[in-house]
Structure formats: C-alpha cells, structure tokens
A and B are shown apart, each in its own frame.
Chain A
C-alpha cells in the first residue's frame, strides 16, 4: 500500500517532466543539441526516476524526496548577493544563482561563458553529453533533457591558472524548487586549473538540485576539482560528474560532505582515455542527523600505464546513513595499470547505517590493483591512551575523528580550503557530543 502511494507521487513529478518536455520550446537549441536532448529524454521517460530495484540505487530511495510540489525550471534571480563562505580564500569568484551566471567574469587564460551563450558555438558538440552514460543514469539524462542554466569554463592552451576559480552556487529556496545546472569544463592541452565549488542556500523550502558536470582534461593538462557539499537540511543534491582524461594528464578530485543536506548523491565517473594518466580521488563524508550520503565512483582504465588512487573516509553520527560504491574497471588493453581504492568508515551511533561496496573488474593480467574497506568504531586503546594523558572523553573522540579525517583533509592543496574544512569538522564534532 505504502509502495503504491509512493509510486503515484513519484509518477506525478515524472508526469510533470514529461509534459514539460513536450511543451518546451526547442527553437533555441541547435539541431545537434536537440538530438542529444531527445535521446536523453527518451531514456529518462523509459526508466523514470530510479528505484531501489536498480543496483546503482539499491541503498538509496529517492522517492520520499520527490514528493514535493516543485517548481521545475526556476530562472535566475537578480537579487544581489556577495558572500564568501570560505574566509581568506584568494580566488576568482564566480556566483551562479540557481545555476545562472549574471555578471561577466574575466580571468586571465580562462574563458567563462554562460551556457546559453556558449551553446551557439557548434564546437561544444564534441564535448557536451558525449561521454556521460545517460542510459544508466536517469538523473543525468533528466538534466541533459532540461538544462537551461550553467556555465562553460574553457582554458587556453598552456595557460597555468595563478589562482583557483571559486564557484559559489546560490540557490533560492523560498518555494520548493527543482534546479538542474550544468557545468562544462574544458582544459586544453598543457593548461592547469583549480576549481572550487561550494553551496549557499537561501530560504528553507525543499530544494532539489540535479546537476551534471562534465570535465575534459586534454593531453598534459591538469584539473583539480574541489566539491564542498555543505548545505542546510532542506537541500537535496544529486550530482553527476563525468571526467575524461587524455594521455599524460593529471586529474584530482576532492569531495567533502558535511551536514546537513538531507540527501547527497554523487556519481563520479572517470574515463581514462589515454596512456600515462594519473588520477587521485579523495573524499570525506561526515554525516549527521537524518542525512543520507551516497557516493558512487567509477574509474575506467582503458589504456595502458595509468595510475589511479582513491581514498574515501566516512564518519557517521546520529541517524545518518552512508553508501559508498567504488568501481575500478580495467580493460584488456590497459596493461601496467596501477589502481588503488580504499574506503574507511567510523560508526559513532547505533542508529547509523553504512553500506560499502568496493568493486574490482579486471580483464588485464599485468596490473596491480587492490581495494580495501573497513567499518568500525574508534579504537578503544587509542582512546584509553588519550584518557591516561588527561584528555577527556569528548575531546579525545574529537581528536580521533580529526586524525581519521586528516588523511583526506591534508590532501587539500589550497590552504584556505583546508582550513575551512578542518574547522567545519571540529565544529560539527563539538556539536555532536553536546
């Protein structure tokens, strides 16, 4: 019975999208874009929103989050907001309001264009939606069918960024909204760029963000992406990040999830499309309250001599629930692959649940691949050691959690970001034991 009710409410949002697509004016789009959208829409309309029957979503039921009567395609807003949530971060600031860029930004060596403007350029068709597996990802397909707002970040050849780019996503949730931003990053040959993304939410009505980022790292280029997902409890963030690396490139992803966003679901897909690439994926999820965090990563080793390293750490408090699913795929041609993956979890509450699913799929023989996964609590002996040194229960626990998180926080290359994240962890942990 309960299922039946869920079905109808999910269907209703689904129906709204179906109807919306039919009405939508497509005159603005180029022919190639229309065809991409049509394919994506077809795939979404076939599958609908994911259910727990899909392997990729078996631990995460999105149906309860989709019951709201969302406004589907809110435009940007003109109300001005200048707010830097990461103190002392020296960066080129970009503010996206509901995914929309209002002000021009000029950054040496980097072209930042609103998506609508950039779409007039036919060159984008070699990038946009080219690698993202839409068939298997209904949310990414939905975004592709509907996105209106977003930006394109394109570096010049051999341009080395002097400062990071900081994108602040400002979402206005004075009414229930469903927002679908799209970001395309193209790092041309030999360039280097650091991108930091953070979230600010104004208003306390349900907010559902279904975003897709596509990142192309050309030969000898380097891209560092920082994704800081710290938002209030009314936020639901579903994010798909497709990365394509060409030969000799370097890609680093840093993902930090802290309370209170009710739902955070990330898909991070790496296609290693050339030899001698290097990729590092670091993540921390500190989940509290009723939070549900769900991280799915896929690293596709398609060419020989590539290196990938992945480390995700989780701390679970209260009634939170976390899912980690990491997949390393090594194709038959990808000899001499080195691929490592590790996921460690600390459960600090008996009501918290953790699911970990590290996977290896290997078709080449001359490889070194390993993965490890642990779930446990704070080491009692270490705790005792600290007690004997006169450190109290709470302080000792917090110290242990900080030390646990250190493995991923010390990877952050931008001092201001690192300081910000470390402070948030200390703050959250202090709160947790009050």
Chain B
C-alpha cells in the first residue's frame, strides 16, 4: 500500500535541514558587541586605509540614527545588535597556493556541501572564491582570469591592491545611509568578493562564491562589488548553505553592481541557509541589500534567485536603469515552509529613455510559510517609451500558509507601458489527476508541476547552478505537497 498523501506531507514538511553540521576550526573572534572600537578593531585587523575607516564610522552613525523597519507584514524579531560578534576569521593567516595547505577540516566541510575545492579546478570553467565565515581562504583560477585582466578577489585584498577602484565604486550604488542593515554592513563588513571586468572583455567562465556561516553567533556581513566596464560581460554565481544553530543568526549583506555602457552583468543566487526547525526555532535572518545600476547606454543587469532557506528572507535586488535603452531583469523563485517568511521582490527605476524591465516572481508557500512579493516599478518623466512587464504568481500548498503581493507602480511618462499581473492558486486537482492517470504518483506529479511552474526562472540559471537549484527545490518541496 502506497503511503497516503497525508503521510507524505508529514514526512517531508517535517523533514529537517540536511546540511546542518558544524566545522571545528579555531576562530579569531572579536568580542560581542557593536561600538566604534569594534569598527576600529575590524579596520585595523584588515590594515585598511584611513578613508575606509572613516566611511565605516559614517555607516555606524547612520545605523544608530535609523529606526527599526516597521512596514513589513510580519512581526519583526527583536535583534540584540550587542549580542553579536562582528568579526570571525580562520586563525591561519597564510595564503594558500596549494590545496594541501588548506585546513583539512575546511576542505571536508566543502565536500559535505558538494563543492570539493580540490575538484573545482578540474570542473570546467568555474573559479571559486570560497568565503569561509568571513575571510577568503582560497582563490582559484586566478591565473586564467589574470590573462584577461579580470580582477576577482576578496574585497580586503582589493582594498590593498586596487584602492582607486574601491574608493570610486564602494557605496556608489548602495550608500552607507541606505537602510538600517546596509548601514550596519557598511560599518562592520568583514569581507566579500570584488570583481572588475575590463573594457570589452567577456569573462570566459562563471565566477562563483560559496558563502557559509560557520561560527555560532557570528553575523555575516558580506560586501560584494562587481564592476563591468564598457562592453564587458560577466556571470556571477552565489550560493549558500549554513550549519544548524539554535540561536538566530543574522546575515546583512550588501551587493553592488555597476554596469557601464554596453556591459552586461548576470547575478545568480541559490540561497539555502538554515531555515529553523519545524517550530520556527533557530534559522538565519537574511536581510540583504542588493542593487545594480546601469550607468551607460544599452547596459543590462539580470538578477536570478532561488530562495529556499532562512527563517526570514528580506531582500529586493533592484536595478537603476540610468543609461538609455538599458534593461533590468529579475527572476525569482521563493519557497517557504514550516514557519519561514520570505519577503522579496525588486525595484526597477526607469530613468533613461527606452529602458526595459522584466520581473518574473514565483512564490511557493507550504506548511505555515508566508511569502510576499513586494516590488516597485518607477518610471521617471524622462523615460520615454519605457517598458515593464511584471508577473508574480503564488502557489499555495496547505491551508495555513499565506501568499501576499504588494506591488507599487508609479508612472510619470505617458509613453511608458507598464503591465503587472499576479495570480494566486493551489495546484489543480485536475492536473494531478491527469498525471496520476498516466502512472505518475502524486508526489512526483506535484514535483513535476512545481518544477514546471518554476521553469521560467530556473531556465535563467547557468547550467552548474540549475542542477543544484532543481535538487534544492525537490528536497525542499517535492514531499511537502499532498
């Protein structure tokens, strides 16, 4: 007798996080708490120039001034910012050239995650800048990238080696005063990735970084800065898994993208951080500020995200379309189950003439998960013939979940065309029946339907990621459907 749907539902929606384990490496941890001294400590530890320290302090000032956000439609958890340690780095400071020098435990962690560093070199076309907690420990494929003049390094390294680029672009898209969490990030950011693609260069490989929060009670404050100079192209991948923890960990990252004339940046994320157990205990708070700016004509920025983890996800990858005929895209699949909350969407600012944007958002809510799309399409008075298409669909699985849509549409130009549509529904019984009838059991049928539902977004992911994303979707979802 096959398991009935209720059993399957229970089995899978209760399924606990598969990647919960903790690696034991000596950490160099700053004392808990947030104050100017900690910021000076972080800055000194990294040997930063004076202007960067001052910028951090301004960020701290802005952080203190901003009240807690209050506009969200879920209860905002009280976060004790003094109870977080703002710096954690693996103790070994040596730079690795050879994989053998890397702490074997670290390599084991990556292997459990399915990204064995030792094999990454062999794996075609992927250079990995692995961020283990906060400091980059290994960077591969540097030689190949160097040939093209591409800079792909940690932000701290870039601060030392390319201070002029950092000073010019850091905070130019997301200013330190942007919002409370961006301000916090500006003040205490530990590290992150820096990418610079020179004029006319098409990056020969997908650049990718794996983030991993490892040390308990250490908020991760990544800062990513990608600059695509005129006529260049880059595809960047970001993926995350985190070990199981009972206390909430906070992640407040900032990602800034700058695309100059005719440049294209494709940014893909698969996020699978610990979502808490089935009672909503533990889990990561993921408050990320992601924004890109198309500075020159015909520039293009494309965001793709698959969000399956975190207790609370709060992010709005946005594009400022300043150059004429520039375009922005946003593709998102967000899955919530148990007590997860995902509040995500995008902002598209049409400033230049003939700018285009496309938003495809697919929300899937199961168990007691809450999924919100929150977005803005703003067409300025000079954006002649601007064009936007938005579609946000929600799929509800179970009777205690929620799906919400909060789009804002603002147009100041009569030649602009803006379309928005949203639907909410559950999986049709007729669809399942049809597949059952063809000998496909309910669980597989649902997986098929959900994968088809998310296809439009998954198709946007680069090959390497698409596989992982589909796997993630099936782990997270397949069974939680009755």
Question: Does any Cβ of A come within 8 Å of B80's Cβ?
Answer: no
Q: Verify A352–B414 contact, CB threshold 8 A.
A: yes
* B25 → chain A closest CB, angstroms: 44
Which residues of chain B from 371 to 417 have any CB-CB distance to chain A below 8 Å in the complex? Answer: 379, 381, 394, 396-417
Question: Does any Cβ of B come within 8 Å of A347's Cβ?
Answer: yes
> Given the interface contacts A360-B424, A369-B425, A372-B420, does A353 sit within 8 Å of B404 by beta carbon?
no
> Given the interface contacts A347-B413, A353-B412, A357-B407, does A372 sit within 8 Å of B421 by beta carbon?
yes
Q: How far is the CA of A358 from the CA of B406 in the complex (A)?
A: 7
Which residues of chain A from 325 to 362 have any CB-CB distance to chain B below 8 Å in the complex? Answer: 332, 335, 345, 347-362
Interface size class of A (residues with CB under 8 A): 35 or more
Stretch at the interface among A34-42, A106-114, A264-272, A374-382: A374-382
Name which of B402, B415, B424 has the most chain A CB atoms within 10 A of its CB. Answer: B424
Q: How far is the CA of A377 from the CA of B418 in the complex (A)?
A: 10
Question: Does any Cβ of B come within 8 Å of A55's Cβ?
Answer: yes
Q: How far is the CA of A368 from the CA of B409 in the complex (A)?
A: 23
Q: Verify A365–B405 contact, CB threshold 8 A.
A: no
Q: Verify B417–A367 contact, CB threshold 8 A.
A: no
Question: Does any Cβ of B come within 8 Å of A363's Cβ?
Answer: yes
Partner of B414, one of A349, A363, A372: A349
Chain A residues, CB < 8 A from B79: none
Q: Verify B420–A365 contact, CB threshold 8 A.
A: no
Name which of B401, B403, B413 has the most chain A CB atoms within 10 A of its CB. Answer: B403
Chain B residues, CB < 8 A from A363: 400-402
Q: Verify B413–A362 contact, CB threshold 8 A.
A: no
Question: Does any Cβ of A come within 8 Å of B419's Cβ?
Answer: yes
Task: Across the interface, name the chain A residue whose C-beta is closest to B71.
Answer: A55
Q: How far is the CA of A320 from the CA of B400 in the complex (A)?
A: 43
Q: How far is the CA of A345 from the CA of B413 in the complex (A)?
A: 12
Task: Across the interface, name the chain A residue whose C-beta is closest to B395.
Answer: A365
Which residues of chain A from 196 to 251 have any CB-CB distance to chain B below 8 Å in the complex? Answer: none
Q: Verify B425–A368 contact, CB threshold 8 A.
A: yes
Chain B residues, CB < 8 A from A365: 396-399, 401, 426
Q: Verify A362–B416 contact, CB threshold 8 A.
A: no
Task: Across the interface, name the chain B residue whose C-beta is closest to A359.
Answer: B406
> Given the interface contacts A55-B71, A369-B424, does A357 sit within 8 Å of B406 by beta carbon?
yes
Digit string of B414-452 for contact with A (CB within 8 Å is 1, else 0)? 111111111111100000000000000000000000000
Chain A residues, CB < 8 A from B419: 372-374, 376
Q: Verify B403–A360 contact, CB threshold 8 A.
A: yes
Q: How far is the CA of A375 from the CA of B423 in the complex (A)?
A: 18
> Given the interface contacts A361-B402, A363-B402, does A350 sit within 8 Å of B414 by beta carbon?
yes
Q: Verify B399–A357 contact, CB threshold 8 A.
A: no
Q: How far is the CA of A410 from the CA of B463 in the complex (A)?
A: 52
Chain B residues, CB < 8 A from A372: 419-422
* B430 → chain A closest CB, angstroms: 13
Chain B residues, CB < 8 A from A360: 394, 403-405, 422, 424
Chain A residues, CB < 8 A from B78: none
Q: How far is the CA of A262 from the CA of B410 in the complex (A)?
A: 20
Chain A residues, CB < 8 A from B400: 332, 363
Q: Verify A374–B406 contact, CB threshold 8 A.
A: no
Chain A residues, CB < 8 A from B394: 360, 362
Question: Does any Cβ of B come within 8 Å of A30's Cβ?
Answer: no
Q: Verify B403–A362 contact, CB threshold 8 A.
A: yes
Q: Verify B417–A376 contact, CB threshold 8 A.
A: yes
Question: Does any Cβ of A come within 8 Å of B73's Cβ?
Answer: yes
Question: Does any Cβ of B come within 8 Å of A383's Cβ?
Answer: no
Which residues of chain B from 325 to 353 have any CB-CB distance to chain A below 8 Å in the complex? Answer: none
> Given the interface contacts A332-B400, A360-B405, does A369 sit within 8 Å of B414 by beta carbon?
no
Question: Does any Cβ of B come within 8 Å of A428's Cβ?
Answer: no
Partner of B415, one of A345, A354, A358, A377: A377
Partner of A347, one of B414, B421, B422: B414
* A320 → chain B closest CB, angstroms: 12
Q: How far is the CA of A370 from the CA of B424 in the complex (A)?
A: 6
24 interchain pairs, CB-CB under 8 A: A55-B71, A347-B411, A349-B414, A350-B413, A351-B381, A354-B410, A356-B407, A357-B406, A358-B407, A361-B73, A361-B404, A362-B404, A366-B399, A367-B425, A369-B423, A370-B422, A371-B420, A372-B422, A373-B409, A375-B411, A375-B416, A375-B417, A375-B418, A377-B414
Task: Give the top 9 A-B pairs by smallest Cβ distance, nearest first.
Answer: A365-B396, A347-B414, A356-B409, A375-B418, A376-B417, A373-B420, A360-B405, A370-B423, A372-B421
- List the interface of chain B (C-beta within 8 A of A): 71, 73, 379, 381, 394, 396-426
Q: A369-B424, A377-B415 are in contact. List 14 more A-B contacts (CB 8 A).
A: A347-B413, A352-B412, A353-B412, A354-B411, A355-B410, A359-B405, A359-B406, A361-B404, A362-B403, A364-B396, A365-B426, A372-B420, A377-B414, A377-B416
